[in-house]
Homo-oligomer: A and B are copies of this chain.
Amino acid sequence: MSDPLTSGATIGILGGGQLGRMLSAAASRLGLRTHIYEPGANPPAGDVAHRVTTASYEDEAALAAFADSVDVVTYEFENIPTAALDLLDSKAMIRPGREALRISQDRLTEKTFLQGLGLKTAPFADISDLPGLEAALATIGAPAILKTRRFGYDGQGQARLKTPDDAASALAEMRGAPAILEGFVTFSREISVIAARGVTGEIACYDPGENVHVDGILHTTDVPARLTPAQRSDAVLLAANILNALDYVGVLGVELFVTDAGLVVNEIAPRVHNSGHWTQNGCAVDQFEQHIRAVAGWPLGDGTRHSDVQMENLIGEAVLGAHDLAKESATALHLYGKTEVKAGRKMGHVNRIRSAGK
């Protein structure tokens, strides 16, 4: 453990999307600078960063210079190539650590890890060929979902199997990538817990949010989620269990299904999470600042919910209504500065303050 970062120190962020953008703005509140590393030109995070490196994750010279220029490295997405991480790791401190990345980069490793902690997951099987898929379907049953083990997000790299007859076509959609078959979970609602762990092991969890997905993309998160006190407590303890097992430093998102048999973990994300955006307008310290505090070695802040909030994502053309949303009362608008509107693209979100909480 090193000393906390002080004013003027620089946090390196891998990835320059909206999460990096909001992390940068949060870092500025603590007097810290950011340096964004992003292959794409003009990344959203670049608008609010002290420095931007535009280079690929294969560019060893750029990675080395980046590592040398920062006081700590963090990231806004988990699918960072291993070779890049190895190089960065040799020159700089990476928070959250490599173990969290190793586990969350692979759906099979992640589910195995979660089960090892005694947590419930959907039934799953490692799939490498058609006979294996057919055997797994016989056990897990249909409907089910076949997913690539790595590099999936927002419903990408997934094929639904309504019946066992869909096996061959679903496998073809994986294009030869290692895959995992996941059984369906019957749930009453989806929630997520955004949790943080500091360098001294202290843990702070935000109130669970209730998520609604549309077309595989998060649409709304409502806080508080409709949960019993026992469910709320289970959700927080479970997140703390994961954080401690990983000796984690930073913010982690845990997606959960609420079922009659208890909470089932859908997936974990070793970073700030879309379902935690409500914290920007519901708490004194939001998930972005909490993450920056943790990776900078600062004490965690107060994430108590002071207001009820509904977060709604602005996907694709929904952003064209931004000026009208801007007029709504008790509404905070957050746009990502993306100039090209594409279907399915996250362009911004709004946080509607529903009432004073507690």
Let me know if A25 and B7 touch, CB within 8 A. no
Residues of B within 8 A of A24 (CB): 48
Let me know if A330 and B304 touch, CB within 8 A. yes
A interface residues, how many (CB within 8 angstroms):
53
Contact of A338 among B7, B319, B332, B334 (CB under 8 A): B7
Let me know if A323 and B353 touch, CB within 8 A. no
Residues of B within 8 A of A8 (CB): 337, 339
User: Per-residue 0/1 for A325-340: is the Cβ within 8 Å of any B Cβ (1 yes, 0 no)?
Assistant: 0111111111111110
- Name which residue of chain B comes closest to A45, CB basis: B28
Please report which residues of chain A, range 293-315, place their CB below 8 angstroms from some CB of chain B when the two chains form the complex: 293, 298-299, 301-302, 304, 306-307
- Shortest C-beta distance, A282 to chain B (Å), equals 10
Stretch at the interface among A29-37, A103-111, A145-153, A184-192: A29-37
- A261 on interface, CB distance cutoff 8 Å: no
- Shortest C-beta distance, A48 to chain B (Å), equals 4
Let me know if A356 and B357 touch, CB within 8 A. yes
Could you say which of A34, A48, A332, A339 has the most chain B C-beta atoms within 10 Å of its C-beta? A48
Contact of A28 among B21, B323, B332, B356 (CB under 8 A): B21
Residues of B within 8 A of A323 (CB): 4, 298-299
- Complex Cα distance, B334 from A329, in Å, reads 25
- Name which residue of chain B comes closest to A326, CB basis: B299
Let me know if A28 and B25 touch, CB within 8 A. yes
- A175 on interface, CB distance cutoff 8 Å: no
Which residues of A come within 8 Å of B, CB atoms?
A: 4, 6-8, 21, 24-25, 28-34, 46-50, 281, 284-285, 293, 298-299, 301-302, 304, 306-307, 319, 322-323, 326-339, 348, 351, 353, 356-358
7 extra A-B contacts, CB within 8 A, seeds A29-B332, A29-B334: A8-B339, A29-B333, A47-B50, A48-B49, A301-B327, A301-B331, A306-B306
